[in-house]
A and B are shown apart, each in its own frame.
Chain A
């Protein structure tokens, strides 16, 4: 069953066409990688999926419904590329804000928050002010806020960005655990070995177009596919 369906979306900023008809779908229970060089349109696609910006044409369906429907958003967890939090509050206070705004049951919320915080190894920092967090801690905390409500679909924009190898392993393990628990993960990345390791499927986006949909059997070749497409288009800046 397709949980996320992106159908021929196009988007221009002024005269520059950033997305030139992007289409792909993500199935329930899979980990789907979204791979592309800088400026290929990954973040723009994710912002359109989250309804932060609107496509000029095309359609995005989440759980079979329009992505502008707030009810479906409650089933989605999102990590932006550069998560920015309110800096004068502690991690726990920010989580409390989420619990209140999402009207989640308090004890269950904190039980989950404790579990995932420990898993992501950010539990020790929850009572520190967010302004004191390092870049890696911010990234891990960003992941925590995305998973804490146990959404059915996780959309992660560069979740490994800014993480050291230990951090990357923690995040990768978490993604796999979520998959085991029947959750769906859609994430963008630069790091091709991560795609190979944790994804069931992936698609390559270059210059606003999806060039390849890579099935599980071909994932070990994703680096070759990716480099070949880049050579064809002649992009200078990759990774």
Chain B
């Protein structure tokens, strides 16, 4: 009799749990699951490690839930940013929140400045090349601030863990080039060449160095031309005809150079305009 009663009670409690679970799902709100700075502030310091990790898992689950529901409004996105900020404030050496923050806040919600803000804290605490890389990428790709992008990408490129990835210095050098800082781009690439070990990776760097050195020579020739003729050259051929650059000048990969209408030196194979979509795929 009593056993049946106990089983009955347990059965009822299971049923109630099922009903409550529906209520809980219905009421998932950012207030319910997202950690806040205020909440974590009162968690004992020794427990804040585990609690903030759990807070991050909650945030991640909430992001998944929100993405599944469709478009995320700015207010919700900012709450998620606050949650990630809180987690990284009390557990600043945990990489995942920076990783997720970068991916979610930029591609999904457009909070580029907030993502960079979060990542800059990460740079202070986490010794990982990806963080300056993300910052640099966000500056260049989303905000169009090539100089800042190049600055952070070169920091990533110099990181011991990232020395063998030639994509970072290549991209950084391109951004410096776009900003007219060819000397800085060359210095970065040459320095990178010294520390890299992988020969196939070095190959692309050498090609870029050759290209940039030749582009630099063309720029110098353009300046001489301008002084001599009082106008900018209309094409590379004019420089060749003036004897300022050799006839067969090519980029490191064998592509031809050309001068754009706004006076920018580009080449067919290396110094073509940056195609962001192509980069995205990489």
A and B touch in the complex (CB under 8 A): no
